[in-house]
């Protein structure tokens, strides 16, 4: 049996990268010294060890924009985040392409035009969904159309992530997402941010959890290694 290729962290890392590298070495079981196996520690994004690192960024983003999650709100697949982070909720709708979802109040493909009436929602919470839609531009046009004037889309997408879904079409860069959002919502109506750094992205791919790192480490963003991209888009 061929021994797996081993990857060694660079020996002259400084500052936060050195600290994160050492932290990872100490927390990856079954490794010798600074070596990392080619396969992940867990294949479920860190569930079982704690909060997946991408979800830490997503939930922090939604918490920061609690005031936008109000009125009539739409969420994909379920309503967990709306219920957890929303305020002054009047009505919650769940959209899903899968008709077997008994909780879905709207069953449709977001690529399909004009299924949902114009200007219906005050807020649309759409986390880690856009990458599974092939026609991204069509979907974002629908997102903008179904929001009321002054309504807000709270969107998250993967930057760097493990590919496990057969419908995993896209991962995004900040520039690509910003351009697509601007086309759908208009110039100046969107705020796109990247979250993560090289070591935290590596930790996520390896299957470590957010609780295994300090908040200061999680907040050390490096634009070259976006684990998660978040966007607040305003329907003007």
**Sheet hosting strand 190-195, strand order edge to edge:** 106-107, 89-96, 71-76, 121-127, 147-158, 228-234, 190-195
Residue 50's domain comprises: 43-234
CA torsion sign for 223, 224, 225, 227 is positive
Backbone phi and psi for residue 228, each to the nearest 5 degrees, phi listed first: -135, 140
Q: Are 13 and 21 in contact (CB under 8 A)?
A: yes
The pLDDT of 198-203, averaged and rounded, is 92
Least confident of 43-57, 93-107, 120-134: 43-57
Q: How far apart are CA 62 and CA 55, in angstroms?
A: 10
| pLDDT at position 162 | 87
| pLDDT at position 153 | 98
* Residue 165: DSSP 8-state: -
The pLDDT of 40-49, averaged and rounded, is 84
| pLDDT at position 219 | 96
Tell me the CATH number at 84. Answer: 3.40.50.150
pLDDT in tens, 148-176: 999 999 999 999 988 887 889 999 999 99
In a domain, 25, yes or no: no
Please count the structural domains in the chain: 1
In a domain, 157, yes or no: yes
| pLDDT at position 24 | 55
In a domain, 65, yes or no: yes
């Amino acid at each position: 049996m061929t021994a797996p290729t081993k990857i060694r962290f660079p020996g002259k890392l400084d500052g936060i990268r050195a600290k994160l590298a050492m932290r990872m070495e100490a927390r990856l079981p079954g490794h010798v010294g600074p070596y990392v196996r080619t396969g992940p520690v867990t294949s479920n994004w860190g569930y079982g060890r704690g909060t997946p690192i991408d979800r830490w960024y997503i939930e922090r983003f939604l918490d920061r924009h609690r005031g936008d999650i109000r009125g009539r709100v739409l969420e994909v697949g379920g309503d967990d985040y709306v219920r957890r982070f929303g305020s002054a909720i009047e009505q919650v709708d769940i959209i899903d392409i899968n008709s077997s979802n008994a909780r879905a109040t709207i069953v449709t493909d977001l690529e399909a035009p004009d299924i949902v009436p114009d200007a219906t929602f005050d807020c649309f919470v759409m986390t880690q969904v856009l990458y599974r839609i092939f026609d991204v531009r069509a979907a974002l046009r629908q997102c903008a159309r179904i929001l009321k004037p002054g309504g807000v889309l709270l969107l998250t997408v993967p930057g760097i992530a493990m590919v496990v879904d057969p419908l995993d079409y896209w991962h995004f860069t900040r520039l690509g997402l910003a351009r697509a959002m601007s086309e759908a919502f208009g110039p100046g109506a969107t705020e796109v941010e990247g979250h993560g750094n090289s070591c935290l992205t590596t930790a996520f791919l390896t299957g470590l959890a957010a609780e295994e790192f300090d908040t200061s480490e999680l907040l050390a963003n490096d634009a070259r290694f976006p684990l998660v991209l978040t966007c607040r888009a305003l329907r003007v």
